[in-house]
Amino acid sequence: DADVTQTPRNRITKTGKRIMLECSQTKGHDRMYWYRQDPGLGLRLIYYSFDVKDINKGEISDGYSVSRQAQAKFSLSLESAIPNQTALYFCATSDLPGTAYNEQFFGPGTRLTVL
C-alpha cells in the first residue's frame, strides 16, 4: 500500500463550489505539506503543518484553507473554487530534521479542474 494517499485523484467542479482534497499518510511523519503544480512554475507551497496544532501559510495560501485532523491526515479546502485554481495538487510528508534535512515523500496527486 502507498505510504501517502490522496483522494480524489481527479475532480472536475464548477466555479464557486467548495472542494476538499484529502491526504493520509502511514509514514508516521509529523510534517505535512500541500503544493500545487502548474506547467512551467514547478511546485509552489500552499500550506504546511509541523504537528496537529501547527498550521502555516505557504507562498500561495490565498483562496485555500487546511485542516490537520490527526497526525496522519491533512486536508486542503477551496472555499469557493475559481478557474485559476485548476492545477495538479500534491500532498507531501517529511520527518523531523536530524543531522541533515530529510527528503519529502509525495502522494500521487489530485488533478483538479475548475470550470
**Interface residues toward other proteins, by CB under 8 A:** 4, 33, 40-43, 45, 48, 50, 90, 92, 94, 97, 99-109
> Closer to other proteins at the Cβ: 71 or 80?
71
- Nearest distance from C-beta of residue 70 to other proteins, angstroms: 21
Q: How far is the CB of 35 from other proteins (least distance, A)?
A: 8
Of 5 and 65, which has the nearer Cβ to other proteins? 5
Distance (Å, whole) CA 27 – CA 76: 19
Of the two residues 54 and 79, which places its CB atom closer to other proteins in the complex?
54
CB of 43 to other proteins, least distance (A): 4
Q: What is the 3-state secondary structure (H, E, C) of 5-59?
A: EEECCEEEECCCCCEEEEEEECCCCCEEEEEEEECCCEEEEEEEEEECCEEEECC
Q: Enumerate the β-bridge partners of residue 4.
A: 25
Q: How far is the CB of 8 from other proteins (least distance, A)?
A: 15
- Three-class SS state of 84: helix
